[in-house]
Amino acid sequence: MQSARSSDRTPDHATPSGLGASSGHGQPNRIRRFMNAGRIRIFLWALPVLLFITAAFVGPMLVEYNPVTVNISARLEPPGTALADGTRAWLGTDQVGQDVFAQVLQGARVSLLVGASTILLAGLIGLLTGVIAGFHGGWIDVVLMRLADIQLAFPSILLAILIAAVLGPSVLNVILALALTRWVTFSRVARAATLAARERDYVLAARAMGANSWRLLIHHIIPSTIAPLIVIATVEVGLVIIAEASLSYLGLGSPPDQPSWGRSVANGRDYLNNAWWISTMPGLALSLVVLTIGIFGDRLRDYLDPRA
């Protein structure tokens, strides 16, 4: 994507990778440059992630789900059963006759919402604190980084459990609890990137030419922290989705009327003897999503940072 963008810009802003700098007029060349083998492989691993996002958005519109309806005549039906109302329960039904497939789609929504919002919020807090600490230095740096050290003394799920328990179960509270436990990694990465960028020649040159601190931050420092932050985000988003599901499993996540993968797995815990699918299906969806995000993140990191 970067090469496509940089070719639109003036030469002095072009990326140093040189992908956009080589000559190449005409459409076919540009497409070939954009779709080289490495990129295609990354996009292939992004496909399951896109499928998850689409399912979360569109799925609940296609498969009807009503959290309060109870259908006792169709409870604990195995996957593939044709129900009395003519529909088919592809993943079975749960203890009150709810369709497990519809629950999984609803759960995807919660996972995606919490995953994306938490990463955004934690990333934003991390970016601000990290850039300020790295650029300003001095006591602000000391205070922020010692605070980060203290937070790392908690196993992160523990702090999330504590905050979520005090705030009470709601999707917004889960996002807050998880963002407050996850900002540290982003902050450290942003700080390291800021420290590295601060000494680069083009930043020193801009400073020598009289650019003020705001201009340096917005045009030079912050852009250089974005790529490492995106790499961290792909690693963290899987952890956040697992953490959300774990909180929901413990009953500290989404409220009872909102099906999430963790809560559905917990519901099926009491029916393992006669209805294994209630716990199995949402957990399977969760594992697959986290696994593909993990592989996608790995590929992206290899591509953006070949040294690692």
In the 8-state DSSP scheme, what is residue 10?
A: -
Cβ at position 16, least distance to other proteins in Å: 27
| Collapsed DSSP state (helix, strand, coil) of residue 46 | helix
Cβ at position 151, least distance to other proteins in Å: 7
Single-letter amino acid code for the residue at 168: G
Cβ at position 247, least distance to other proteins in Å: 10
The Cα 144–Cα 198 span in angstroms is 19
Closer to other proteins by Cβ: residue 98 or 156: 156
* Nearest of 46, 50, 120, 53 to residue 299 by alpha carbon: 46
Closer to other proteins by Cβ: residue 149 or 305: 149
Closer to other proteins by Cβ: residue 14 or 161: 161
Closer to other proteins by Cβ: residue 132 or 242: 242
Contact in structure between 247 and 174 (CB atoms under 8 Å): yes
**Six token digits for residue 193:** 């990137």
Single-letter amino acid code for the residue at 201: D
Which residues are near other proteins by CB under 8 A?
146-147, 149-151, 153-159, 161-163, 165-168, 238, 242, 245-246, 249-252, 262, 265-266, 268-269, 272-273, 276, 279-280, 283, 286-287, 290-291, 294-295, 298
Cβ at position 156, least distance to other proteins in Å: 7
Cβ at position 80, least distance to other proteins in Å: 19
User: Could you tell me which residues are beta bridge partners of residue 81?
Assistant: 89
Cβ at position 226, least distance to other proteins in Å: 25
Compute the chain's Rg from CA coordinates.
23
| Collapsed DSSP state (helix, strand, coil) of residue 81 | strand
Closer to other proteins by Cβ: residue 220 or 299: 299
Where residue 154 falls (left for φ over 0; alpha for ψ -120 to 50; beta otherwise) is beta
Q: How many helices (H) and strands (E) does the chain have?
A: 12, 2
Closer to other proteins by Cβ: residue 189 or 221: 189
